[in-house]
Amino acid sequence: METTTVTTDRLRDILDRIEAFMEAEVVPLEAATCGKTWVEIAPLLEERRQRVKAAGLWTPHLPEAWGGLGLSLAAFGRVSERLGRSPFGHYVFNAQAPDVGNMEILIEHGTPAQQERFLWPLLRGEIRSCFSMTEPEHAGSNPIVMSTTAVKDGDDYVINGHKWFTTAADGAAFAIVMAVTDPHAESPYARASQIIVPADTPGFRLVRNISVMGDEGGGWASHAEIVYENCRVPQANLLGREGAGFTIAQERLGPGRIHHCMRWIGICERAFEMMCAYAARREIAPGKPLATRQTIQNWIAESRAEIDAARLLVLDTARKIDDEGAYAARVSVSVIKFYVAGILQNVLDRAVQTHGALGMTDDTPLAHWFRHERAARIYDGPDEVHKARVARQVMKQYGVRL
């Protein structure tokens, strides 16, 4: 997608405005919505979404021609860090996964008719979407192996299959589905296609929101199991060319990992601040705050170093994608994926431990993140897959093929 050159002053202004909005309008929602359902929370979030629109900060990840701020990937990474400071941040700015990725591929590969029906309402925040790829019968780490099929019948595709961890399907207006359209293609990377399936299509059945660490979630913060039973949609709903499903998926994953990693860094910064503030005020004896203990001091120092190193690594990778493209940065993308996910776990664990019993409660967002962000080491490719990719590329320089 095209971006405009953003001056340092303009980016600083955008970041300052977003920080101020987050602290005044979004972070206070955490306490007000604790224990409430998605139905109860949604109106409060909608109020904030309208205020973001009025402030001119809506869909900051998009080019200006599509109503966004025209930021480079590296610049939006800085924004994503600010939004990541609250579980509601990305949603309030209409920059949440999986809608971000769906917007991007509809801009790049959608037909004018697809963009009119699906993309523009998504950009305006009138609807939500989901991305349906992972299947319970196959390893999610190997996305070229799947059983869901889309068979041509007249002018339609008839889709049959079983998906799960389809994020945000609860209440979504449509799904972008990965399905095998040519099981006999010579290349396994050319067997699947991406097809738009409206959620009201007969045969689209949301079985359940999967409970993740005891939380089923709702709305955009849910992960559904879906069955497609003779789901019939027009062939005009094909995204891009037939057999390009894997290629399109890879296009969204590189930038998507920048978004995720910077969001994780935002979580780390907020958890770090909470840890330090609590260590400063919590007394373990009269006049002796928790911060006087060397173990806590070590956690503070280690966390500060890890967060700063992670941020530099991610922004360097984002600049590489901006300058050379996602393919050139594929190894760096794998590095940040497993590295930053690990830092996130380290910082959250220290913050919870520092808060003691309070850290286990939902009186702070720490327990929420501890439950939901453990998955950071699994989704978009587990740590082990990314480490293997990095090792293979490194060892090629030594004449060893792994």
Range(s) of the domain holding residue 269: 246-396
Same domain, 70 and 151: no
Please tell me the predicted confidence (pLDDT) of residue 313: 97
Percent of the chain at pLDDT exceeding 70: 99
Same domain, 239 and 251: no
Hey, how many other C-beta atoms are within 10 angstroms of the C-beta on 379?
16
Please give the full DSSP string across 167-198, using - where no structure is assigned.
ET-TT-SEEEEEEES-TT-SSGGGSEEEEEEE
d(CA 105, CA 252): 7
Q: For the chain, how big is the Rg over CA atoms in Å?
A: 22
Long-range CB contacts for residues 88-91, cutoff 8 Å, separation at least 24: 88/26, 88/29, 88/30, 88/45, 88/48, 89/22, 89/26, 89/266, 90/263, 91/45, 91/49, 91/220, 91/221
Same domain, 271 and 292: yes
Q: What is the pTM of this model?
A: 0.94
Give per-residue burial for 304-341: e unless 16+ CB within 10 Å, then b.
eebbeebbebbbebbbbbbeeebeebbebbbbbbbbbb
Please tell me the predicted confidence (pLDDT) of residue 4: 58
Do 36 and 42 contact (CB within 8 A), yes or no?
Answer: no
What's the pLDDT tens digit per position in 46-94? 999 999 999 999 999 999 999 999 999 999 999 999 999 999 999 999 9
DSSP state, 86? S
Scan for tokens 């399936």, then name that residue: 197
Please tell me the predicted confidence (pLDDT) of residue 143: 81
Is the per-residue pLDDT at 1 higher than 70? no
**Mean pLDDT score, 134-147:** 89
Please tell me the predicted confidence (pLDDT) of residue 199: 98
Same domain, 184 and 229: yes
Do 375 and 212 contact (CB within 8 A), yes or no?
Answer: yes
Coil, helix or strand at residue 34: coil
Same domain, 253 and 392: yes
Is the per-residue pLDDT at 191 higher than 60? yes
Scan for tokens 């996602």, then name that residue: 326
Task: State the chain's mean pLDDT as an integer.
Answer: 95
Please tell me the predicted confidence (pLDDT) of residue 275: 98
d(CA 26, CA 24): 6
Hey, how many other C-beta atoms are within 10 angstroms of the C-beta on 39?
10
Is the per-residue pLDDT at 139 higher than 90? no
For residue 196, the domain's CATH number is: 2.40.110.10
Coil, helix or strand at residue 290: helix
Last residue of a domain, one of 77, 95, 113: 95
Tokens of 236: 């005009």
For residue 293, the domain's CATH number is: 1.20.140.10
Coil, helix or strand at residue 285: strand
Same domain, 211 and 281: no
What's the pLDDT tens digit per position in 202-260? 999 999 999 999 989 899 999 999 999 999 999 999 999 999 999 999 888 878 899 99
- Asked if the structure places residue 224 within a domain, the reply is yes
Question: Among 139-148, 219-228, 341-350, which is the least confidently predicted range?
Answer: 139-148
Place 356 in a pLDDT band, splitting at 50, 70 and 90: very high
Same domain, 142 and 160: yes
Is the per-residue pLDDT at 150 higher than 90? yes
- Asked if the structure places residue 124 within a domain, the reply is no
Q: Give the helix ranges, DSSP H, for 110-150.
A: 112-114, 120-123
**Mean pLDDT score, 312-320:** 96
What's the pLDDT tens digit per position in 371-391? 999 999 999 889 999 999 999
